Amino acid sequence: MYNINPEHAVGLIGGLVGLIVALGTLRLHPQWRSVPGTVRAAAVLMVVTAGVHLALIPHHLAHEPLTSALFLLNGLAFIALAVTFTWRHWRLASAGLLIATVIGYLVYVGAGLEGPDQVGVATKLIEVTALGLALVPVRGETRRTHRSWRWAGLGVAMPLLVVMTGATVWIVDLARPDPRHVHAGAVLQSTNTLPTPAQVDAASRLYHETKAAIQPYEDWHAAWAAGYRPGGSNSLPSSHWMNQKYVDAGYVMDPQRPQGLVYANTHHGPVLLGAMFQMKGINQFGPDPGGPLTAWHQHENICITPFGFEFSLMTPFANCAFGAIDISASPMLHVWIVDNPQGGPFAVDIAPSVVAALDRT
Amino acid sequence: MDTTIHESSRPEGAFILLLLQSIFWMVAGLSSLPFGLAGELHMAALGLVTLMFALATCLLGIAVLWRRLWARRVALTLEVVCVIGSALQLLLPIGANRGPVALLVDIVLPVAVVWLLWDKKTRSAFS
């Protein structure tokens, strides 16, 4: 949902073309100046969304003729409404088409017929904006018809459609992640599918070298003395302790100098779970000696707050809570020295049951 | 649709955009709250602040609709701050998302509100 499906990129061009065409031609309508600016803006936005839908037809035509036909009907209907803004039932027809289009998209995404992406979400935002502009009553209208209904429709439909869009896109993205997304907010390095014997040996070597190198840090005082400092609240199940000197130096997968250590926050103090190697730059995945066994991962679109080094996920509408900013963390690779039954020694996460068991002992 | 008009509908347009912005912030606030359950108390607190801000933005939109002069000033200030903050986030090399949704929500929307409320003719409609 945070990326543009390459096959949908043409939709952005279609939308821009629609915008230029709308701004250039709709003003030639003889009654353009006789309607409120909100109606004119809604008409322009409907041509934009028409442009997006029409541009997507060629790609879908071969494999999804029904979808292409719906895109064609949708695009033509939006254009027809955009040029008939003086029609008596224009608001009702526009609201109906806009609501149906947004719900239709959500049904497609929910049913797995379409993957949620930036082009889809952006188009829905334009349609919801057009809906609000089409419905909002304006001062000075000579025909003050159905104003209370329009207010009610606007007050209910806009929040509902935005929340439904966000929830559907988010749920689908989490339930059916991209193959490279192992969990929310993390993207895995591309590797071969099955490890070769040489890669298995290399992964084993990395594991044993790292485990031996960080053994002294089982006593957290030693880690502190070496320059590792905890980040985040110690009320969380585990904490990453980072060594800024090693981060700045940019050591690459050096078992003697891992950029981070991970400790479980147990009632009897920090218990070492493993090490974390981190690359210096975003999108620069590190060496991958174990192939799929030692794939690095990068956290993208996470909202991080400097207050206690805590994070959440960016919404589908590209927002974070106030005080948090959207960032991507440079690629990292964990080496878990405790048994991690769910994902193994190089998994993105440690199983919560492992941390809970350590806390009980 | 016989809608000959005498007044600018820019405040109504700005109201719609402010309402949208408040809904986006409401979603951001709500989505932060579950992280509080996982022990991220600061994030939960920020989520609550964001929800309060979303409510305030919605009320600000209504005040703009009612053509209150103070609301125009506050909305302009808010959106200029939003544009500057978003531009910094997008320009700094911190890996922030630069997709079309981020550009629409964080840049185009606040710039559109500023454009709608800025000119003198619109200002004269506020009291």
| Whole-complex ipTM | 0.94
Query: Which among A37, A39, A319 has the least Cβ separation from residue B24?
Result: A319
Contact B46 A137 (CB under 8 A): no
**CB contact B25 to A (< 8 Å):** yes
**pLDDT value at residue B104:** 97
Contacts 24+ apart (CB under 8 A), B81-84: B82/B106, B82/B110, B83/B107, B83/B110, B83/B111, B83/B114
Average pLDDT over residues B107-125: 93
Average pLDDT over residues B71-95: 94
Distance CA A255, CA B63 (A): 60
Query: Which among B1, B20, B50 has the least Cβ separation from residue A129?
Result: B20
Instruction: Pick the residue of B20, B32, B109 with the most A CBs within 10 A to test the interface with A by mutation.
Output: B32
Residue B115's Cβ-side half-sphere holds a number of Cα atoms within 13 Å equal to: 9
Average pLDDT over residues A279-291: 91
Look at phi and psi of residue A15 and say left if phi exceeds 0, alpha if psi is from -120 to 50, else beta: alpha
Query: Which among A35, A125, A311 has the least Cβ separation from residue B104?
Result: A125
Q: Does residue A348 surpass a pLDDT of 60?
A: yes
Residue A171 Cα, gap to closest chain B Cα (Å): 12
Q: Is B115 exposed, middle or buried (0-12, 13-18, 19+ CB in 10 A)?
A: middle
State how far the alpha carbon of A277 is from the alpha carbons of A242, A285, A334, A336, A342, in Å.
Answer: 10, 11, 6, 11, 20
Q: pLDDT tens, B40-68?
A: 888 999 999 999 999 999 999 999 999 99
Instruction: Provide the pairing of β-strand A302-305 with A310-313.
Output: antiparallel
Look at phi and psi of residue A311 and say left if phi exceeds 0, alpha if psi is from -120 to 50, else beta: beta
Contact B43 A310 (CB under 8 A): yes
Length of chain B: 127
**pLDDT value at residue A181:** 55
Q: Minimal CA–CA distance to A129: which of B61, B8, B5, B104?
A: B104
Q: Does residue A12 surpass a pLDDT of 60?
A: yes
